[in-house]
Every structure is written in C-alpha cells, then in structure tokens.
Amino acid sequence: MGAQTVVADVADELARRVATGQYAPGDLMPSVRQVAEEFDMNRATAQLVLGRLESYGFVDAHRGRGFTVRDVRRAGGVDVYRRLFRLSLPSPETAAEMFANIVAAERAIVLEALLDYTAAERGIEPAVLTAAVDELETLARSADPDQVRMLELEVGLVRTVLTDLGHTMQRAVLNSVGEMLFEVPEAARAYFVVSPDLHVLVWRALLAVWESENGPSEAQLALFEDLFAMYHEKVLARFGELVGLDTGSEERRHSATA
C-alpha cells in the first residue's frame, strides 16, 4: 500500500469520527504523535494526514495548539457536505438526517423544474427526452436494474430541462446533489423504493403532457405535487431501513421536536 493511500485512508477514518460525532466541533484533534502511534506510522506521514483533513475542511490549524475540529455541519460547503454524508453511514441517525436534507433540496429543484417546464415555451426536441426515457425503460425491465445508472438518467433529464429553462444555478446545485447520491449505494437504492417501472410511467406521462397541446389542469398539478411529496417520504423511510436506522428512536425524536 502506497504512502498516499495510507494518508487518504487514515484521513478518511479521522474524518469519519468527525462525521459521526466522535470528535465534536471545537475539540482538539489527536496530535501528530498520537496519530503516528495509533496508526503505526512515522510523524511525517501523520502530519500529512492532519494536513489532508485540513484540506477536506474538517479541521482548522492553530500554530502552537495543533488542529481543532470545525463545525462542518454548519460551516462546510457542498464538497464538505458530500464527504460528510458518505462518511456518516456508520451513524444511521446522522446519515438519515443528512439524507433528508439532500432529498429536500433535490425535491425542491426537481419539482420546480418540472412544473416550470410544463408551463413554459418548451425548446427541447421531444426525441432527446424520449431517447433517455427509452433507456430508462430498458434498464427498468432488466432482471437486475442498474439503479445508479437509472438515477443518473433521471438527474440528466432534469438537468436538460433546467438548461432549457435557463436555471443555471439550480442545475449546478442538482449536479452536486447527484454526486452525493451516486457515491452512496444506499441513497441510490432508496430512490427505487417503489418499482423502477413507476419511474418510467411518470416520465412517459410527463412526456405526453409536454407533447400535447393542452396542459394539465390545476387539480392534476396539485395531485402531482402531493404524489411527489408522498414518494419522497417513502424514499426517506427506505434509506433509514437500508442504513439500519432504529425507527423507534427516529419516531421519538420527531415527536420530541414536533
């Protein structure tokens, strides 16, 4: 195993401790000597490990004091949040809370994009969208659907719509959200809590609306929004199951904060 691999692996382990709360914001990180001793490495390599953590945005360096843990949940940017989510899986409650935030951001962007595109002058060639949905259907009908690829296709469809609408900021955020989801298999699987065929049916229905002369009624739009919200509730519940969340403790936490 190369030195860089060792540095990355140990940095990830320490970052995981930050992500799961073992090291709390403001705590002093283990010193170079302590890291060297725990992971059986020389001090120069241990210094590189702590430097890597700083580059991740997980710690701050203080001359004469060492490194302190940052409040990464509040102060971190998208890249920090992405790493934090991936490393939080050993702590199901933390992972589920972060996933709920990711899903909320994704849902807001996707729902707005689909509704805006339905009401807008549509400039995308229908064949472009149809080809992507055709590939989605082929995957859905396979014996073992590639759920990550299916999610990539769906995110790609929404990105295409956002580009046509000129919503470049939302597209940038969706790109980052997609990367977070693709890195965590449990997240991608959660999006297919209902049969993959249902995803195809929804996209076919959207294509039919977009290709028709008559748009949906207000009642149909309201129903779509309600179904969209219900679907994402199921996604959250499925993710909790996949990461081993104690649903009893989760229900108690929600009731305590309600």
CB 184 within 8 A of CB 136: no
CB 139 within 8 A of CB 146: yes
The per-residue pLDDT for 258 is: 44
The per-residue pLDDT for 212 is: 85
Average pLDDT, the chain: 90
The per-residue pLDDT for 146 is: 94
Instruction: Please indicate whether residue 42 or residue 3 has the higher confidence score (pLDDT).
Output: 42
- When pLDDT is cut at 50, 70 and 90, the band that residue 246 belongs to is confident
pLDDT digits (tens, 9 = 90+) for 47-88: 999 999 999 999 999 888 889 999 988 877 888 889 889 989
The CA distance from 187 to 122, in Å, is 31
Checking if the pLDDT of 242 tops 60, the result is yes
Amino acid letter, residue 24: A
All domains of the chain, ordered by start, with CATH? 3-76 (1.10.10.10), 79-257 (1.20.120)
The per-residue pLDDT for 172 is: 95
Checking if the pLDDT of 42 tops 50, the result is yes
Q: Among residues 150, 148, 125, which one has the least CA distance to residue 137?
A: 150
The CA distance from 224 to 220, in Å, is 6
Q: What is the 3-state secondary structure (H, E, C) of 47-78?
A: HHHHHHHHHHCCEEEECCCEEEECCHHHHCCH
What sign does the CA torsion over 40, 41, 46, 49 have?
A: negative
* Helices (H), ranges, 92-167: 92-119, 126-140, 147-165
What percent of the chain stands above pLDDT 70? 94
The per-residue pLDDT for 3 is: 58
Residue 209 is encoded by which pair of tokens? 């609306």
pLDDT digits (tens, 9 = 90+) for 9-38: 999 999 999 988 899 999 999 999 999 999
